[in-house]
Structure 1
Amino acid sequence: MSDNLARVAFSFEPEPFETSAPARRGFRLVSPTPSRRARPRIFYALTAVAGMAAIMVAQLLLSVGISQGAYEISSLQSSQSELGRTAASVSEDLVRVSSPQSLAANAEGLGMVSNSNPVYLRLSDGAVLGAPASASGSQAGAASLVPNALLNGSTLLSQLPADPAAAGAVAITSAPVVPAGLAAPTTR
């Protein structure tokens, strides 16, 4: 071993090259059964493209469904706000018509007069409190002692036409149409 080290370390002689050619390898059969044919790569590409197309169509349909729901919500919110304004207007009209000044003006319009000598009935024993006396017609206009500015221009019951069809009112002749499954009261 020391010879080899010394020869390698101190030798400047080139070593001869091997001139012999490597032995040829022969082909041999790996498996005795014939191998299956490999699927073409185009099949995988078409499967991937079809999968992507299915995902895109599903996403598009989902997006359309969600936006349709948003439009319905927007429509329902606008109709809800419109109904809220209508309810507020009707409530305001009800307060205006049920005010004491409106009731007194309608009573005067129907020919009633206010009594300056009120009488009260006690319900517990049926006793009459006060001295009953007939009202005189001299107190006409007593309803306007405390004016109500909201009543200006409103129509009194005595000014309404007797025939509702002549006033353009629509009479309901049949029961309202109600979807199946909902109970509806009968109106007369």
Structure 2
Amino acid sequence: MSDNLARVSFAVEREKFETPERRPFRIVSSNPRRRARPRIFYALTAVAGMAAIIVAQLLLSVGISQGAYEISSLQSSQSELGRTAAGVSEDLVRVSSPQSLAANAEGLGMVTNSNPVYLRLSDGAVLGAPASASGSQAGAASLVPNALLTGSALLSQLPDDAAATTGAVAITSAPVVPAGLAAPTTR
């Protein structure tokens, strides 16, 4: 009997592995209760999405091109300001040269002193023999000429309104020196 039971259980297990259960196929019919979604809704959603993308792209393109125009405008004004700054710095170098300063000083009535005197600040000692300068001495402007200064006006030759706009200061009187201090010798 145990042999028969073993054969039956073996046969049952063999059937399980050899023949799987098959489900019967059935045709699914459309359910009348189920509502079909309209296809027009999907089409309108897709068209609206595409329109939104195109409008966003156009706005972004306009914004970028506006920025490019601003950059171009700023670069042209920067190059123009660079040229102006270079011209002003050339004028400053020309006017601040020692020859220009000496010519302007002579035009204002200053003379050079061939006998310099120095003041030592630590103890107030005067180094050198002070002597007044005479107006007959040749100035530094005549020693080394500056070709850039030909045709430029001196400060003493400028009209009053031009001197006011260039920032030139006219000396009208001698400086006031407090009592007890010696006036420095200017050169």
Range into which the TM-score falls when normalised by the shorter chain: 0.5 to 0.7
Cα distance in 1 for residues equivalent to 2:82 and 2:56: 39
Which structure has the higher relative contact order (CA within 8 Å, separation 6+)? 2
- TM-score (norm: length of structure 2): 0.65
Q: 1:8-157 to 2 correspondence within 5 Å?
A: 34-39=33-38, 41-157=39-155
Alignment RMSD, CA only?
Answer: 2.7
Cα distance in 2 for residues equivalent to 1:77 and 1:102: 35
Cα distance in 2 for residues equivalent to 1:160 and 1:124: 42
**Deviation at residue 29 of structure 1 after TM alignment:** 9.8
Query: % of aligned pairs identical?
Result: 86
Cα distance in 2 for residues equivalent to 1:31 and 1:54: 36
| Deviant stretches of 4+, over 6 Å | none
Cα distance in 2 for residues equivalent to 1:78 and 1:92: 21
Cα distance in 2 for residues equivalent to 1:31 and 1:157: 105
- TM-score (norm: length of structure 1): 0.65
**CA deviation map 1:109-150 (0-9, x unaligned):** 011111122222222222222111111111245422111112
**CA deviation map 1:62-97 (0-9, x unaligned):** 011011111111211222222222222222222221
Amino acid at match of 1:34: R
Cα distance in 2 for residues equivalent to 1:74 and 1:29: 69
* Unpaired runs of at least 5, structure 1: 1-27, 171-188
Contact 1:108 1:140 (8 Å CA) reproduced:
no
Contact 2:118 2:126 (8 Å CA) reproduced:
yes
**Deviation at residue 34 of structure 1 after TM alignment:** 2.1
**Deviation at residue 38 of structure 1 after TM alignment:** 3.3
**Deviation at residue 55 of structure 1 after TM alignment:** 0.3
* Aligned pairs, number: 140
Cα distance in 2 for residues equivalent to 1:146 and 1:101: 7
